[in-house]
């Protein structure tokens, strides 16, 4: 049984302009200890699909489908049951470290409450554990720092404190939403290192959300490429990097800066914008931006096999390349 399996996950938001179709028919699964990346441009539905899994959608949001965690559907659980999983077995690190910590509570209070609540530790034990975790994420002088408030931490330190908070209960699944975006390169590397260490020591599975294919390579086994609320291609890191089959994935890869290119090489950001989620077009949603688009693309594209565990949603055959 997979650790987490999403079945036909749909997420929508009611707005005055109509329904925003943020996530459409999302299906994937992740095994214990595995690391999966979800990549795609901003607005693709990466964050909201995971918010739905965590039961954290905004009030105007709604979700359908299933999110089976060890076989139990998180989406149909009551609050009490869901809270036994959230924070202890599934932890989420949020995108915005500047606002995701409570400015009115010390870092210590925000950290110890997790372990005190889920593991029944007393204050002193929880404190010791929190200090150790801060040390592990390379917060300098953690004994002193832990008593401080979020605004006394730099952006990078806040993000690391968020990571530490997520790891305190040694979760089975860590969902990390752009955990390194706000950070400089060395800290990015440290956090990446920390997460792969965690996989080895406590067999934690990781879902890494990012719009940056560059950070995926070192950390993940598999990649899911999302576009306009749909998965358009999925496969192993090698397959996605070296044999990308969907035109969107190729576009993404071309926009990753590479070390082997001269500094002034032009970055190929994909021209155009994602479709309006209020009124999604029929057929392939990438059609307007796709260099290979043709008449058939007005129909819903099929899911094609690209290799073992490698699929993509497009009319193009492998041989059409």
Ligand X SMILES: Nc1ncnc2c1ncn2[C@@H]1O[C@H](COP(=O)(O)OP(=O)(O)O)[C@@H](O)[C@H]1O
Q: Which stretch binds ligand SF4 (CB under 6 A): 32-40, 216-224, 262-270, 286-294?
A: 286-294
Question: Is 114 a binder of another protein (CB under 8 A)?
Answer: yes
Contact residues for 116 (Cβ-Cβ < 8 A; gap 6+): 122, 123, 126
Q: What token pair was written down for 50?
A: 């995971």
Q: Using the minimum distance from each CB to ligand SF4, give the nearer residue, 113 or 288.
A: 288
Return phi, psi of residue 187, to 5°: -65, -40
Question: Is 86 a binder of another protein (CB under 8 A)?
Answer: yes
The footprint of ligand X on residues 3-22 (CB under 6 A) is 13, 15, 20, 22
Strand order across the 72-73 sheet:
18-30, 4-15, 61-69, 72-73
Question: Is 284 a binder of ligand SF4 (CB under 6 A)?
Answer: yes
Question: Is 11 a binder of ligand SF4 (CB under 6 A)?
Answer: no
The footprint of ligand SF4 on residues 210-269 (CB under 6 A) is 246-247
Q: Using the minimum distance from each CB to Mg ion, give the nearer residue, 96 or 288.
A: 96
Residue 273's binding partner out of ligand X, ligand SF4, another protein, none, with CB under 5 to 8 Å set by partner kind: none
Residues 231 and 65: beta-carbon distance below 8 Å: no
Question: Is 72 a binder of another protein (CB under 8 A)?
Answer: no
Residues 293 and 228: beta-carbon distance below 8 Å: no
Question: In the chain, what are the helix, strand and coil shares in percent, each to the nearest 5?
Answer: 35, 25, 40
Question: Is 96 a binder of another protein (CB under 8 A)?
Answer: yes
Residues 166 and 92: beta-carbon distance below 8 Å: yes
Question: Is 87 a binder of another protein (CB under 8 A)?
Answer: yes
What secondary structure does DSSP assign to 181-229, as a single string? TTS-HHHHHHHHHHHHHHHHHH--EEEEEES-HHHHHHH-SEEEEEETT
Return phi, psi of residue 104, to 5°: -100, -5
Question: Is 301 a binder of ligand SF4 (CB under 6 A)?
Answer: yes
Question: Is 13 a binder of ligand SF4 (CB under 6 A)?
Answer: no
Question: Is 317 a binder of another protein (CB under 8 A)?
Answer: no
Question: Is 277 a binder of ligand X (CB under 6 A)?
Answer: yes
Question: Is 109 a binder of ligand SF4 (CB under 6 A)?
Answer: no
Site string for another protein, 156-195 (x = CB under 8 A): ------x--x------------------------------
Q: Which of 47, 204, 239, 311 binds Mg ion (CB under 5 A)?
A: 47
Residues 288 and 275: beta-carbon distance below 8 Å: yes
- The contact set with ligand SF4 (CB under 6 A) reads 246-247, 284, 286-287, 290, 292-293, 297, 301, 314-316
């Amino acid at each position: 049984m997979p650790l987490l399996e999403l079945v036909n996950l749909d997420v929508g938001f009611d707005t005055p302009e109509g329904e925003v179709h943020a996530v459409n028919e999302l299906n994937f699964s992740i095994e214990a200890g595995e690391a999966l990346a979800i990549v795609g441009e901003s607005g693709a539905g990466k964050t909201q699909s995971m918010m739905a899994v965590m039961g954290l959608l905004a009030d105007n949001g709604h979700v359908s489908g299933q999110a089976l965690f060890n076989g139990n559907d998180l989406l149909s659980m009551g609050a009490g049951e869901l809270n036994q999983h959230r924070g202890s077995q599934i932890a989420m690190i949020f995108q915005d470290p500047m606002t995701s910590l409570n400015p009115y509570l010390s870092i210590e209070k925000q950290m110890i409450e997790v372990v005190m609540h889920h593991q029944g530790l007393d204050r002193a034990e929880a404190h010791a554990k929190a200090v150790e975790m801060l040390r592990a994420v390379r917060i300098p002088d953690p004994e002193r720092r832990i008593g401080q408030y979020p605004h006394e931490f730099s952006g990078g330190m806040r993000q690391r404190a968020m990571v530490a908070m997520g790891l305190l209960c040694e979760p089975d699944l860590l969902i990390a939403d752009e955990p390194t975006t706000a950070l400089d390169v060395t800290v990015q590397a440290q956090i990446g290192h920390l997460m792969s260490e965690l996989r080895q020591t406590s067999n934690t599975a990781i879902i890494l959300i990012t719009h940056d294919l560059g950070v995926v390579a070192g950390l993940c086994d598999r990649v899911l490429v999302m576009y306009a609320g749909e998965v358009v291609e999925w496969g192993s890191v090698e397959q996605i990097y070296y044999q990308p089959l969907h035109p969107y994935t190729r576009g993404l890869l071309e926009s990753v800066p590479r070390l082997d290119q001269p500094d002034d090489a032009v970055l190929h950001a994909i021209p155009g914008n994602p479709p309006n989620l209020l009124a999604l077009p029929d057929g392939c949603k990438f059609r307007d931006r796709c260099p290979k688009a043709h008449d058939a693309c007005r129909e819903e594209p099929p899911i094609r096999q690209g290799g073992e565990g490698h699929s993509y949603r497009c009319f193009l055959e492998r041989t059409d390349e």
